[in-house]
Amino acid sequence: GDSVTQMEGPVTLSEEAFLTINCTYTATGYPSLFWYVQYPGEGLQLLLKATKADDKGSNKGFEATYRKETTSFHLEKGSVQVSDSAVYFCAPYLGNLIFGKGTKLSVKP
């Protein structure tokens, strides 16, 4: 069945470090792909999306590229900040959003 596998956390980085959070999915067809971010005590915010193969979504310095061949949508940021500390969810749209388990990121000053 349709599913999403997300890199398990927690991930702890120092400020200005490079971030990668892996996400792969299994599905028939080519779903739109989303990354959502949840800051402590809050709901989810849309971070970025990509709707077709080779599209790159980007926002707030984060990027993710829709890789059809590897069914992946890895999230990257070149230089993280303390304010990026949050839980990140990968979610392909397969009729409904299917959420990964989330990856908690902690950025230390």
Partner 1 sequence: GAVVSQHPSRVICKSGTSVKIECRSLDFQATTMFWYRQFPKQSLMLMATSNEGSKATYEQGVEKDKFLINHASLTLSTLTVTSAHPEDSSFYICSALQGEATDTQYFGPGTRLTVL
Write out the residues near partner 1 by the rule CB under 8 A: 32, 34, 36, 42-46, 49, 89, 93, 96-97, 99-102, 104
Q: How far is the CB of 36 from partner 1 (least distance, A)?
A: 7
Nearer to partner 1, 25 or 34 (CB): 34
Q: How far is the CB of 101 from partner 1 (least distance, A)?
A: 5
What's the first-to-final CA gap in the chain, in angstroms?
41
φ/ψ (deg, to 5) at 83: -70, -10
**Which pairing describes strands 11-14 and 103-108: parallel, antiparallel, or unpaired?**
parallel
